[in-house]
Amino acid sequence: MALIACKGLSLRYENRLAVEDVSFEIEAGDYVCIVGENGAGKSTLLKGLLGLKTPDAGSISYGEGLKQRMIGYLPQQTVVQKDFPASVYEVVLSGCLNRRGMRPFYSSAERQIAERNMERLSVGALRKKSYRDLSGGQQQRVLLARALCATEKLLLLDEPVTGLDPVVTSELYAMIRQLNLEGVTVVMVSHDITCAVHNAGKILHMGTGVLFYGPAQDYPDSAVGRRFLGGGHHA
Last residue of a domain, one of 123, 152, 181: 152
pLDDT digits (tens, 9 = 90+) for 147-160: 999 988 999 999 99
Instruction: Kindly report, residue by residue over 26-58, the tens digit of the pLDDT.
Output: 999 999 999 999 889 999 999 999 999 999 999
Answer yes or no: do 48 and 61 share one domain: yes
Residue 230: per-residue pLDDT: 76
**Whether residue 169 has pLDDT greater than 90:** yes
User: What's the one-letter identity of residue 5?
Assistant: A
Instruction: Provide the Cα torsion 170, 40, 154, 131; round to 10°.
Output: 60
pLDDT in tens, 59-93: 999 998 898 888 999 988 775 567 778 999 999 99
Sign of the alpha-carbon torsion through 82, 170, 94, 49: positive
- H or E stretch at 5: strand 4-13
Pair (15, 58) in one structural domain: yes
CATH code of the domain in which 10 resides = 3.40.50.300
Pair 55, 87 in one domain:
no
pLDDT-based confidence at residue 233 (cuts at 50, 70, 90): very low
Residue 235 has pLDDT above 60, yes or no: no
148 lies in the same domain as 159: no
Is 235 in the same domain as 157?
yes
Identify the pLDDT of residue 69: 83
Q: Which residues contact 213 (CB under 8 A, 6 or more apart)?
A: 24, 202, 203, 204, 205
Q: Which domain holds residue 109?
A: 75-152
37 & 99 share domain: no
Predicted local confidence at residue 135, as pLDDT: 93
Q: Are residues 95 and 43 in the same domain?
A: no
**Whether 62 and 27 share a structural domain:** yes
Domain boundary among 103, 124, 152: 152
pLDDT score of 232: 47
Residue 105 and residue 89 share a domain = yes
Q: Tell me, yes or no, whether 221 and 124 share the same domain.
A: no
Task: Give the pLDDT score at 204.
Answer: 97
Mean pLDDT (the chain) is 91
Q: Are 26 and 14 in contact (CB under 8 A)?
A: no
Q: Are residues 207 and 186 in the same domain?
A: yes
The total number of structural domains that make up the chain: 2
Helix H or strand E segment including 11: strand 4-13
Span 104-123, mean pLDDT? 95
- 53 plus 161 within the same structural domain: yes
